Amino acid sequence: MSRGIRALEILADAQHPLTIAELADAMGVHRSVAYRILRTLEDHSLLVRDDGGRVQPGPGLAVLARGVSRNLQTAALPELTQLANTLTMSAFVAVWDHEECVTLVTVDPRHTGATVVQHPGSRHPISAGAPA
């Protein structure tokens, strides 16, 4: 299970879809081991392969993420909406995760020309960005 989670972490951090060989190298395992792990993750839609065989995070991750900190997100949404509209700026809640911030929920103001986009699930170092 740990290797599967590590594979998902690597894919989430990758700037582009990875080949099985690239993922195996990043995980430090043989390609056959990486392939077995990927098949299991693929069976649960946690990753998908493109026509060239490269892998990337899949839609099953969004289903899993839906329940993350649901109570916090529900409680924060009305306050974030009021804050975003009052200040005419984007407002979001981010949490600390191993030296990084992860955005949980974002609200953009109703009437504005430009906004700073902070998509839920986006990560950045804790020392950089708005939540710093």
Q: Looking at 38, 64, 90, which one is the last position of a domain?
A: 64
Q: Domain range for residue 108?
A: 67-125
pLDDT tens-digit readout, 47-106: 999 999 999 988 888 777 766 667 777 888 899 999 999 988 888 887 776 667 777 788
Q: How many independent structural domains does the chain possess?
A: 2
Residues 6+ apart with CB under 8 A from 50: 17, 56
Can you name the residues that pair with 93 across neighbouring β-strands? 105
Residues 6+ apart with CB under 8 A from 105: 73, 76, 77, 80, 92, 93, 120
Total-model pTM? 0.57
Residues 6+ apart with CB under 8 A from 44: 60
Same structural domain for residues 76 and 102? yes
